[in-house]
Amino acid sequence: MKKIIELLNLEVMEAFEKAGYEKEYGAVTLSNRSDLCQYQCNGALAAAKKYKKAPIMIANEVLSILEKSSTFKEIKAIMPGFINIILQDSFLADYLNGMKNAEQFGVEKTKQPLKIVIDYGGPNVAKPLHVGHLRSAIIGESIKRIAKFAGHEVIGDVHLGDWGLQMGLIITELKKRTPDLVYFDDTFTGEYPEEPPFTISELEEIYPFANAYSKEHPEYREEAMNATFLLQSGKPGYMALWNHILNVSISDLKKNYEKLNVEFDLWKKESDAQPYIPDMVQYLKDHNYARISEGALVVDVKEETDTKEIPPCMILKSDGATLYNTTDLATIVERKKLFAPDAILYVVDKRQELYFEQIFRCAKKTKLIDETVNLTFLGFGTMNGKDGKPFKTRDGGVMRLEKLIQEITDAVYEKVMSNREMDQQEAREIAGKVGLAAIKYGDLSNQASKDYIFDLERFTSFEGNTGPYILYTIVRIKSILNKYQTEVGKINQDTQILGADSDSERELMLALVKFNEMIENAYSENAPHKVCQYIYDLSNAFSRFYHDTKIITENNKVKQNSWISLICLTEDILNTCIDLLGLEAPERM
Ligand code: ARG
């Protein structure tokens, strides 16, 4: 289905052409004075310069053509040459009926689907998930859903960090605590019990301890680096431990992501890219892309036009060790081989922007990936506390994701239970959904690249631009529809929506028809916040309509049926949108 703005463009452009002007001048935009009109065209002002004619004359000529059209209820030329547009109510209603009957409300799946890998989540094995990983998971998940809705083939990859120093630190600490474990026996050959020698909570205590300890004890750190090296060279006992760490950690991560309603298509890890490294390094050397600098192997990536210093991309350290860079480049090679993607999108903390710039340049310059593959970095800002500093627990530690979710759902639970009787289990379920919506919407409603302040009070409020308010709107619609069904009759899915006869009804319709355009923008700009802005406006429009309209007691059945159809459509679109954000609405709240 064509977007409403496209339909208007077509018609107004044609009129410009008929009146003897270039049709490009007929571009229509949303009105920036919604008190005066719904849409507007400013083309006559621009055309005036080219055709050396007063803009108002041009506008009037175009108008004489458009006045006959059934699209417009009112179309006027306003000094000095604006064209103000108010749509015919029946035109709006027809458009909505079209949306109602079309698949995906008229958003057609793209005819040129791209294969897109989205690299998001990025948790590190054995380290607890913290709020930084929360943002990547929430934003990446929503972008993935939006791209799928638009018709693309999307592969979401969690890209686990499982190959760094944290592994050596854990192994070193385990060795200190339990030197008798079979894994530390030099004759260990690879046969070992399935039972891991630690639990997830032990693991999560070990890593921060070892990390802190290594900062004060250089010899311990040295040992951990050596253990990392031995692991990466395939020492059987360490490989076995690494496997244990991985298994324990991944099953815990899966639980956490499930709670967040985040689902990955792939559970690939940094270590999976390691086999690609030797050939890649050889290739870079053979083609003279890489050079030795102070013993290290580097690729220069600076360009003439740079205004800031872009350091070379380091491939191997002087001792031959690989780095985060090496892994990311090898992962690009791996992804090319496995999926031949058209695009790879990285949803990572914006502090890694320069790093990714180096990686992208290096991959393109050395032809590890084709020039045509779109490599995009979507950097997100920091989630701050009310003090404007990165979000911490009350005692100053890094907030664990699980705890954060718990705190929020507890707060929502209190609200749900206050002043009424409700089954505890139901209240818990509601609090789970609403709490998650509070966190996710609080995050997604901001432009991803911006820092934002985590404000529990505001995010959990049932009023304002919040997740709970959106869910509450959906729940309200459900309850009206239930009431209608018990007090009036069955809902007829085929009922047509009729032209509006009140301002608030018209506003609701105008909000609904923007769906198609919103999806296109949210997809092309990787911008879930556009979905949030849309459903917030839509929810407000619904609330005003609902406030103004006595739906259940209306005597005019034709009108009443049309309203029911209209709010069914509103509910369906809201549900579709929250699904794109990764939220779910409860039955009541
Ligand atoms: N594990 C990394 C971190 O915690 C994020 C990974 C991002 N993705 C990537 N391909 N480097 O910072």
The pLDDT score that the predictor gives to residue 102 is 97
CA distance 313 to 82: 53
CA distance 231 to 238: 5
Of the options 3.40.50.2300, 3.40.50.10890, 3.40.190.10, 3.30.1360.70, the CATH number for the domain spanning 4-87: 3.30.1360.70
Q: Is the CB of 122 under 6 A from ligand 1?
A: yes
Distance of CA 14 from the midpoint of ligand 1 (Å):
51
The pLDDT score that the predictor gives to residue 390 is 82
Residue identified by tokens 């911008």 is 527
Confidence of residue 197 (pLDDT cuts 50, 70, 90): very high
Q: Is the CB of 124 under 6 A from ligand 1?
A: yes
Q: Give the CA dihedral 101, 107, 108, 110, nearest 10 degrees.
A: -170
- For 365-390, what is the mean pLDDT? 94
For residue 127 the two structure tokens come to 């380290």
Are 157 and 264 in contact by the 8 Å Cβ rule? The answer is yes
Distance of CA 324 from the midpoint of ligand 1 (Å):
9
CA distance 474 to 491: 17
Query: Beta-strand (E) ranges in 326-474?
Result: 343-349, 374-380, 383-384, 452-453
Count of CB atoms situated within 10 Å of the CB of 38: 22
- pLDDT per residue over 88-137, tens digit each? 999 999 999 999 999 999 999 999 999 999 999 999 988 877 778 899 99
Q: Which of ligand 1's atoms lies nearest the C-alpha of 348?
A: 7
Inform me whether the pLDDT recorded for 395 exceeds 70: no
H/E run at residue 86: strand 82-87
Q: Report the complex ipTM.
A: 0.99
Inform me whether the pLDDT recorded for 300 exceeds 90: yes
Q: Which of ligand 1's atoms lies nearest the C-alpha of 352?
A: 12
The pLDDT score that the predictor gives to residue 397 is 66
Q: Is the CB of 160 under 6 A from ligand 1?
A: no
Q: Which of ligand 1's atoms lies nearest the C-alpha of 160?
A: 1
DSSP state at residue 105: G
- pLDDT per residue over 42-92, tens digit each? 999 999 999 999 999 999 999 999 999 999 999 999 999 999 999 999 999
- CATH 3.30.1360.70 in the chain, residues? 4-87
- pLDDT per residue over 483-499, tens digit each? 999 999 999 988 999 99
Q: Is the CB of 38 under 6 A from ligand 1?
A: no
- With helix as H, strand as E and coil as C, how does 261-306 read? CCCCCECCEHHHHHHHHHHHHHHHHHCCCEEEECCEEEECCCCCCC
The pLDDT score that the predictor gives to residue 149 is 98
Count of CB atoms situated within 10 Å of the CB of 199: 11
Are 431 and 471 in contact by the 8 Å Cβ rule? The answer is no
Distance of CA 503 from the midpoint of ligand 1 (Å):
50
- For 445-456, what is the mean pLDDT? 94
Confidence of residue 474 (pLDDT cuts 50, 70, 90): very high
CA distance 217 to 198: 24
User: What residue's CA is closest to ligand 1, atom 6?
Assistant: 122
Which residues contact residue 311 at a Cβ distance below 8 angstroms, ignoring those fewer than 6 apart? 302, 358
The pLDDT score that the predictor gives to residue 30 is 95
Query: Beta-strand (E) ranges in 350-446?
Result: 374-380, 383-384
Confidence of residue 401 (pLDDT cuts 50, 70, 90): confident
Q: Is the CB of 161 under 6 A from ligand 1?
A: yes
Distance of CA 452 from the midpoint of ligand 1 (Å):
21
Q: Is the CB of 119 under 6 A from ligand 1?
A: yes
Confidence of residue 396 (pLDDT cuts 50, 70, 90): low
Report the predicted TM-score, pTM, of the whole model to 2 decimal places.
0.95
Q: Is the CB of 162 under 6 A from ligand 1?
A: no
The pLDDT score that the predictor gives to residue 420 is 81
- pLDDT per residue over 199-230, tens digit each? 988 998 999 899 999 999 999 999 999 999 99
Question: With the C-alpha atoms ordered 75, 76, 82, 84, is the resulting torsion angle positive or negative?
Answer: negative
* Residue 246: HSE in the Cβ half-sphere, 13 Å Cα cutoff: 19
Inform me whether the pLDDT recorded for 32 exceeds 70: yes
* Residue 25: HSE in the Cβ half-sphere, 13 Å Cα cutoff: 24
The pLDDT score that the predictor gives to residue 394 is 67
Distance of CA 420 from the midpoint of ligand 1 (Å):
46
- pLDDT per residue over 523-567, tens digit each? 999 999 999 999 999 999 999 999 999 999 999 999 999 999 999
Are 376 and 343 in contact by the 8 Å Cβ rule? The answer is yes
- Ligand 1 pocket check: which of 117, 129, 159, 276 to mutate, most ligand atoms within 8 Å of Cβ? 159
DSSP states of 443-487 as a string?
Answer: HHTS-TTS-EE--HHHHT-SSSSSHHHHHHHHHHHHHHHHHHHHH
For residue 242 the two structure tokens come to 């690494």
Inform me whether the pLDDT recorded for 398 exceeds 70: no
